[in-house]
C-alpha cells in the first residue's frame, strides 16, 4: 500500500528511543522528512544521525515551548504535515504520595505540551488543507493501572482533546487521533518492573508488543489512505483492553 507520505514533513517528539524513535523510523522509511525532538542531547543527536532526521533538543514542559519548537521546525523544513506527540510517562505513585507541585509538572508535560505543539502546527495544516495529528497516550487512559495516578488522570484529558479538536478540524482535511500502546518492549516498561512473565498472563497475545508494530499503526494513521479515520483512540495492545 502506498501511504502517500513521500515528501511529507513530520515532527515526532520523544523520539530519541522507544516508541518515538520507532515511529520516526517508520515515517522515514515511507519517504517522509522527519524532525525528532527529545531532551537528552547526546542520545537525540545519535538517533538523528542514524535515522537521517533533523534533531531538536528541547524540554517541552515550559509553557509555550511546544509552539516555539514547531516554529523552528517549520522554519527548517518549510512546514509540518504530520505531528506525533509522544511524551515520557510521569512519575509513578499512588494519590497520597504525589505532591501538588508534581501534579502541576505532569499536567504541563503531558497535556499542555501537546496543546502548545498543536497550536504551533495547526495554522499551516489548515492553510494546506491537510494534516495528521497523533497523540501517543496509554491504555491506562481507558483502564487505570495501579500506582500510576498521574498517568491514569491526565492521559484521559488528551483523549478529550482528540475528540473535541477532531470535530473542529476534520473539514479542513486534518485528522486527530490517539494511539494507545500496551505492554511494549521499551525502557519505560522495564522501569516499571514489568517483564514477559507478567504480561503473558494478562495479554491475550501472550507476549509484549514490539515498537515497530506500534510504529506501523502510527504510519498508517499518518497516511493519505487514513483520511477518514478521525477522532479515534486506537490501542495496539495485543488484546489487553476490555473496555473498547
Using CA atoms, how far apart are residues 11 and 82, in angstroms rounded to an integer?
Answer: 6
Q: Is 36 inside a domain boundary?
A: yes
As given in the structure block, the three cell numbers for residue 98 are 504525589
Q: Is 155 inside a domain boundary?
A: yes
- Residue-number span of the structural domain to which 228 is assigned: 9-236
Q: What are the distances in angstroms from CA 237 to CA 75, 132, 157, 183?
A: 37, 22, 20, 6
| CATH code of the domain in which 131 resides | 3.40.50.720
Q: Is 69 inside a domain boundary?
A: yes
Q: Is 121 inside a domain boundary?
A: yes
Predicted confidence (pLDDT) per residue in 87-123, tens digit: 987 888 999 999 999 999 999 999 999 999 999 999 9
As given in the structure block, the three cell numbers for residue 171 are 473539514
Q: Is 242 inside a domain boundary?
A: no
Q: Is 49 inside a domain boundary?
A: yes
Instruction: Note the pTM of the prediction, 2 decimals.
Output: 0.94
Predicted confidence (pLDDT) per residue in 197-227, tens digit: 677 788 899 888 999 999 999 999 999 999 9
Q: Is 3 inside a domain boundary?
A: no
Going by C-alpha positions, the residue among 3, 53, 10, 19 that lies closest to residue 213 is 19
Banded model confidence at residue 186, pLDDT cuts 50, 70, 90? confident
Q: Is 243 inside a domain boundary?
A: no
User: How many structural domains is the chain composed of?
Assistant: 1
Amino acid at each position: 500500500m502506498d501511504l502517500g507520505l513521500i515528501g511529507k514533513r513530520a515532527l515526532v517528539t520523544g523520539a530519541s528511543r522507544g516508541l518515538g524513535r520507532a515511529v520516526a523510523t517508520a515515517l522515514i522509511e515511507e519517504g517522509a522528512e522527519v524532525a525528532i525532538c527529545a531532551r537528552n542531547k547526546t542520545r537525540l543527536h545519535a538517533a538523528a544521525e542514524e535515522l537521517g532526521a533533523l534533531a531538536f533538543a528541547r524540554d517541552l514542559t515550559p509553557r509555550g515551548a511546544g509552539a516555539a519548537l514547531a516554529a523552528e521546525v517549520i522554519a527548517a523544513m518549510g512546514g509540518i504535515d504530520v505531528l506525533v506527540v509522544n511524551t515520557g510517562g510521569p512519575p509513578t505513585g499512588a494519590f497520597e504520595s504525589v505532591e501538588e507541585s508534581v501534579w502541576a509538572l505532569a499536567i504541563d508535560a503531558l497535556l499542555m505540551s501537546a496543546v502548545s505543539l498543536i497550536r504551533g502546527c495547526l495554522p499551516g495544516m489548515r492553510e494546506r488543507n491537510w494534516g495528521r495529528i497523533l497523540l501517543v497516550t496509554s491504555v491506562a487512559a481507558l483502564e487505570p493501572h495501579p500506582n500510576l495516578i498521574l498517568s491514569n488522570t491526565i492521559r484521559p484529558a488528551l483523549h478529550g482533546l482528540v475528540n473535541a479538536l477532531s470535530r473542529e478540524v476534520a473539514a479542513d482535511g486534518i485528522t486527530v487521533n490517539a494511539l494507545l500502546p500496551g505492554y511494549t518492549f521499551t525502557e519505560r516498561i522495564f522501569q516499571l518492573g514489568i517483564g514477559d512473565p507478567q504480561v503473558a498472563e494478562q495479554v491475550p497475545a501472550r507476549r509484549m508488543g514490539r515498537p515497530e508494530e506500534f510504529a506501523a499503526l502510527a504510519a498508517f494513521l499518518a497516511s493519505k489512505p487514513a483520511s477518514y479515520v478521525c477522532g479515534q483512540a486506537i490501542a495496539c495492545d495485543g488484546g489487553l483492553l476490555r473496555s473498547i
